[in-house]
Amino acid sequence: MGTGSERYRADTRTLRETLARRSHTEAADWFPVFKARYGLAEVMRLLAGRAADSGKDTVVTQLFTCCTAVVPIIDAGMRAGYADIDADTLSIDVQSLERHLEDGRTAAVMLQHTFGMITPQTDRQTAHQARQAGALLIEDSAHCVTRMACDDDGSPLADISLHSFGVEKMLPTRFGGAVWVNPALAGRNGDLDHALRESLSSLPALPGNLDRVARMYINQNRVFSRLGSFGNALRASCTRHGWYEPPIADSERSGSLAYPAYAPAAWMNERAAHAIEGLDSNESARLAIIDLYRQRLSGLDGIRIPRAAITSPAQPLLRFPLLARDTAESERLIAAVRAAGGYAERWYRPELFPGVTDEKAYGLLDLDRSTLKVHDAVVRRCLCLPTELGIDTAQRVCDAIIATLDAQQ
């Protein structure tokens, strides 16, 4: 067996090769990170360093997301510009994006595949708008690891694509992520391409204390969940003392990252590579559940399914989205689904889920909500269904939704 550093390099190489095979890209363009948000933080740090000269200090993103997708922007000192979303894609609306690009301050556009919904036509429009404005296109593929939006010829659209192996994602790995850098970026912005590759390939090793608490994460959660309210208090105490690594840190909710960017530990790379090798089975099982949801829930009075979730071919979504009549109906449906054995969720209610504690830091105090009408309506009405469950449970979930809707007629 080689030294620790040699083993780490071998693990990194294996993971990069696994990612490349799965995405039909090159291993040299993949860069593993401790968490995907820190990969984005490196991109934002480099953009912020160029903002004074370029005048481009804004990243256009969306509020219908997790705060961890925006905190790297804020932490780097860049400005988040919030575009409205399209109710059919739950991603940035192209007309709203066009208005944001008019001032010439946009350094990057975030293209989020919410719940794993990739929408070729609108994604290509978004990419075209970003290119025309001289902005980077950064793709958030956190919910669809190794899947990317592509052009007609099959080449990836994004300049930079972010993939997460973390908590509440496609893989059962809990930690880790990767940044893909489009080799075409070298021709469009050679300086940035070089700086980004240099930064991502030389990240410091994960500190020992962080490695240890990450290893304990699954067992800790099992213990906390069995202890009820005491478990919640214990989790909070462990977090304060650095003995537990929460999915979202308090500092992130207030607008700053908890750590600098780190490379992942060797065991994270090993688990991620193994899980990615099993993605065919993972996605096939999810597709069976999504097929059932599409068959039984489409066309029902009282709920709306975003078009991207029901168009063909079906996609292996992390969650299946629904829009209820209003918040009260959404809450009734969530309760009914949970009673049937399926853990329905409120993603993303509140916006910037699970909500931020410093609205000023996130640039929310001066927002013109009249430009976010679709977003606001979706937040009020949203819920999503699990896709990682058995057929029998999924049938009970559908029965519960139909019965709840019928009771409201």
Q: What is the CATH number of the domain that holds 310?
A: 3.90.1150.10
What confidence tens digit (pLDDT) does each residue in 291-309 have?
999 999 999 999 999 999 9
CATH number at residue 83: 3.40.640.10
The verdict on 116 and 229 lying in the same domain is no
What's the pLDDT tens digit per position in 190-225?
999 999 999 999 999 999 999 999 999 999 999 999
**Which pLDDT score, from 0 to 100, does residue 7 have?**
55
The three-class DSSP label of residue 97 is helix
DSSP three-state, residue 253: helix
Q: What mean pLDDT value characterizes the chain?
A: 95
Residue 57 within a domain: yes
* pLDDT band of 156, cuts 50, 70, 90: very high
My answer on whether 398 and 306 are in the same domain is yes
The residue-averaged pLDDT of 171-180 equals 95
Residue where a domain terminates, one of 239, 262, 285: 262
Q: Do 151 and 231 sit in the same domain of this protein?
A: no
pLDDT at position 12, please?
A: 95
Q: Are both 250 and 288 inside the same structural domain?
A: no
pLDDT at 6: 54
The answer to whether residues 77 and 11 belong to one domain is: yes
- Tell me the whole-structure pTM to 2 decimals: 0.95
Whether the per-residue pLDDT at 111 is higher than 90: the answer is yes
CA dihedral 377, 378, 383, 389 (to 10 degrees): 160
Does the pLDDT of residue 4 top 60, yes or no?
no
Q: Which domain holds residue 325?
A: 276-407
Q: Look at residue 409 in the predicted model and tell me its pLDDT.
A: 73
Report yes or no on 271 lying in a domain.
no
Q: What does the angle CA 275 – CA 278 – CA 279 come to, to the nearest 5 degrees?
A: 90
Last residue of a domain, one of 176, 200, 224: 200
- For residue 382, give the amino acid letter: C
| Residues 192 and 235 reside in one and the same domain | no
269 is a domain residue: no
Q: Are residues 235 and 317 in the same domain?
A: no
Residues 229-286 have pLDDT tens digits of: 999 999 999 999 999 999 999 999 999 999 999 999 999 999 999 999 999 999 999 9
**Domain identity same for 310 and 350:** yes
Cβ-Cβ contacts under 8 Å for 294 (sequence gap 6 or more) = 305, 309, 310, 314
Is 374 in the same domain as 225?
no
Phi, psi for 322 (deg, rounded to 5): -135, 150
Indicate whether 222 and 195 sit together in one domain. no
3-state secondary structure of 145: coil
- CB contact set of 106 (below 8 Å; sequence gap of 6+): 56, 58, 59, 60, 81, 100, 130, 133, 135
Among 121, 6, 135, CA closest to 83: 135
Percent pLDDT > 90 in the chain is 96
Q: What is the pLDDT of residues 22-50, one digit of tens each?
A: 999 999 999 999 999 999 999 999 999 99
> Is there a contact between 16 and 271 (Cβ–Cβ < 8 Å)?
no
User: Could you tell me which residues are beta bridge partners of residue 177?
Assistant: 33, 164
DSSP single-letter state for residue 12: H
Our count of domains for the chain comes to 3
Q: Are residues 285 and 324 in the same domain?
A: yes
Last residue of a domain, one of 154, 180, 200: 200
If you search the block for the tokens 């910037």, which residue do you land on?
352
